[in-house]
Amino acid sequence: MAGILVYALTNEGAINKNSLGAVSQAAKLAGELGTEAHAVVVGNVDDAVAGSLGEYGAAKVFRAKDAPEGVSTPAVDVLAKLFADNDYDYAIFGGGLLGFEIGAGLAARIGAGITAEVTGVKVEGGKLVAQRPILGDSLISESNYKGKGVLIGRTNAFEATQSGSAASVEDITVDLSPQAGKVRLVKRGEQRGADINIEDANVLVAGGRGLGAAEGFQLAEDLAAAFGGGAAVGATRAVVDAGWFPYAGQIGQTGKTVAPKLYVAAGISGAIQHKVGMQGSENIIAINKDANAPIFEFSDLGIVGDVQKVMPALTEAVKAK
């Protein structure tokens, strides 16, 4: 059956928020195309968790229990088999580094067109058209697919909406390719400042070299803690390269793409490679002692000052609210 398959990315059995958004988006598009959206989870995901994808619009959920979570090749094997067995037209991913890797692998395996950083999708002439911002988000480009298409969303581009009820979960067994066994997940990167993934945070306090040292991140952690649940701490690549902060928290071209409701950039210059990973944030507050720092060009609120003075004052102000 031609339709849309969504890869629901999981982290230790929990489904990532962007994948829920991808399922809702796929269900809406499938409705317009007169077909169905299905979802697949890889790894040992609970019945209730996998089935809950139905609440976001998946008509059916597949689960490949025996394939390992967290690495790309087994997931590509699983998705490619589902494409071979069901003749889907499109795969949609919510984003995330692993989503990008698996999406690229799937497109290569099945000979599909691929569009990454998708922020909108429409139906034209019975086919999907993916939209993605280009040239620093100043233009929108549109991708049409001659055959099958793989669409990878930009973080938080697709809104998760609960509309249905739990779906049935079908367990599938996939013969993994020889390459699948060559990479295994040894350990997950440490995440500091909050228990939540920075891609899921509502408030993100990001620190740059202006925080002065690894210890300077205490200022960012204090501010995130003042905001309470839903707030996390991230960093620039300069800081990660310096060993001040783990890579799991890196935002930008070679890190994660984030789009929280509030992004606080503390001691960050605003290099283009950082900007591309956070410019989708709803509100950006920048604190920098250099009034000419590029970050102020794309901030909603700029504070010219020393992070050592501004951050504690901001933390106290947030706590007082």
Q: How far is the CB of 12 from ligand FAD (least distance, A)?
A: 25
Window of 91-99, 106-114, 127-135, 250-258 that interacts with ligand FAD by CB under 6 A: 250-258
Q: How far is the CB of 210 from ligand FAD (least distance, A)?
A: 3
Radius of gyration from C-alpha coordinates of the chain: 20
Nearer to ligand FAD, 106 or 266 (CB): 266
Residues 64 and 79: their CA atoms lie apart, in Å, by: 10
Pattern 264-293, ligand FAD, x by CB under 6 A: ---xxx-x-xx--x---------xxxx--x
Q: Which residues contact 8 (CB under 8 A, 6 or more apart)?
A: 15, 16, 19, 20, 22, 23, 39, 40, 41, 50, 53, 61, 94
Binding residue count for ligand FAD, defined by CB under 6 A: 28
Q: How far is the CB of 213 from ligand FAD (least distance, A)?
A: 11
One residue of 252, 260, 280, 302 binding ligand FAD per CB under 6 A = 252
> Both tokens of residue 292?
């000419």
Does residue 299 bind ligand FAD (CB under 6 A)?
no
Residue type, 127: K
Nearer to ligand FAD, 2 or 242 (CB): 242
Pattern 56-95, ligand FAD, x by CB under 6 A: ----------------------------------------
Residues 308 and 11: their CA atoms lie apart, in Å, by: 35
Pattern 176-215, ligand FAD, x by CB under 6 A: --------------------------------xxx-----
Nearer to ligand FAD, 20 or 293 (CB): 293
Residues 54 and 58: their CA atoms lie apart, in Å, by: 4
Residues 3 and 67: their CA atoms lie apart, in Å, by: 23
Nearer to ligand FAD, 89 or 199 (CB): 199
Query: Residues interacting with ligand FAD, by CB under 6 A?
Result: 208-210, 236-239, 250-255, 267-269, 271, 273-274, 277, 287-290, 293, 306-308
